[in-house]
Amino acid sequence: MNNLLQLKKDLKKLANPEKAKILQRFFKTGKGEYGEGDVFIGIVVPKLREIARKYFTLDLKDVKQLIESKVHEERMIAIFILVDKYEKTNHKKIVFHFYIKNIKYINNWDLVDLSAPKIVGRHLYDFDINSTSQLRVSDDAQFSGSSRLLNSSSKPDGNMSIIYRLASNSIAVNAKKKVSEETMKSIFRKGIRPLDILSLLAKSENIWERRIAVLATFWFIKNNKFDESLKISEILLSDKHDLIHKAIGWMLREIGKRDLDVEIGFLNKYSKKMPRTMLRYAIEKFPEKQRLAYLKNN
């Protein structure tokens, strides 16, 4: 039996309608909510991880079918497989580009949080540190044996990430304007810096692309590089969505764990204009007196 069909059979056996109802509510899938239309079948994350490990060798063409699925748990398994593939393969750039090309399917906060640091953040960090050509793509690049990822269908279409909508000679574009499109190869041959890519995502109208930009900086933070996270936080200070406020506050808190002076410097500059949720998350671990002082001045 085809591995993908067997995987779906395994999922069907584990499906729990009652758990699915709980997850539908938790991930806000109702009309007008951030997860509107997302479909759950009620499988807990540890079981999904087990299945992902079992089918780690799944070709990218099959992973693509999973990540395009309307079922949240199938997209989650695709994410786990991609993270594992990125960790274990020598073809990391192909996994990175696969992720970016299919970014529109990474469309709930758990999918973002479990993948953005370990694929987007790690790839951009390694590129930045090593000054290698990892961000470039080869037409004949292959992955998982005969599974060809980069071909004529790799070119961007109308639903692609904002990363592929760059002006010919400008990186700093207004995400709300339509600009000329280029292929992935052309973009990365121009020598884009990691922060350019994160900034483009942060300026997207899509909340999940913005959250990916924020969470990708977690890998930089873990390696004591804070400038990327601080820059993305500046870009998104006036963002309207609660899920972005929480994500930025979380990253600022993580910076503070490693260098409190850096976090305090940012807070002293911006705390008065921060959304309150963002500030609360950022100062969650502060001493009570210091925490209340920031809240009072917000």
Residue-averaged pLDDT of the chain: 82
User: Above pLDDT 90, what percent of the chain?
Assistant: 67
CB 276 within 8 A of CB 298: yes
When pLDDT is averaged across residues 84-111 and rounded to a whole number, the result is 91
Tell me the per-residue pLDDT of 266-292, one tens digit each, with 9 for 90 and over. Answer: 999 999 999 999 999 999 999 999 999
Residue 230 and residue 236: Cα distance in Å, rounded?
10
Tell me the per-residue pLDDT of 16-40, one tens digit each, with 9 for 90 and over. Answer: 999 999 999 999 999 999 999 999 9
What's 147's DSSP letter? E
Domains of the chain: 1-88 (1.25.10.90), 106-223 (no CATH), 237-298 (no CATH)
238 burial (CB, 10 Å; 0-12 / 13-18 / 19+) is: exposed
The answer, yes or no, to whether residue 185 has pLDDT greater than 90, is: no
Alpha-helical (H) ranges within the chain are 3-14, 17-26, 45-54, 60-67, 72-88, 92-101, 109-115, 122-130, 184-189, 194-202, 207-222, 227-235, 242-258, 260-270, 276-282, 288-296
Tell me the per-residue pLDDT of 203-214, one tens digit each, with 9 for 90 and over. Answer: 888 999 999 999
272 burial (CB, 10 Å; 0-12 / 13-18 / 19+) is: exposed
The answer, yes or no, to whether residue 163 has pLDDT greater than 90, is: no
When comparing pLDDT for 85 and 148, which is higher? Answer: 85
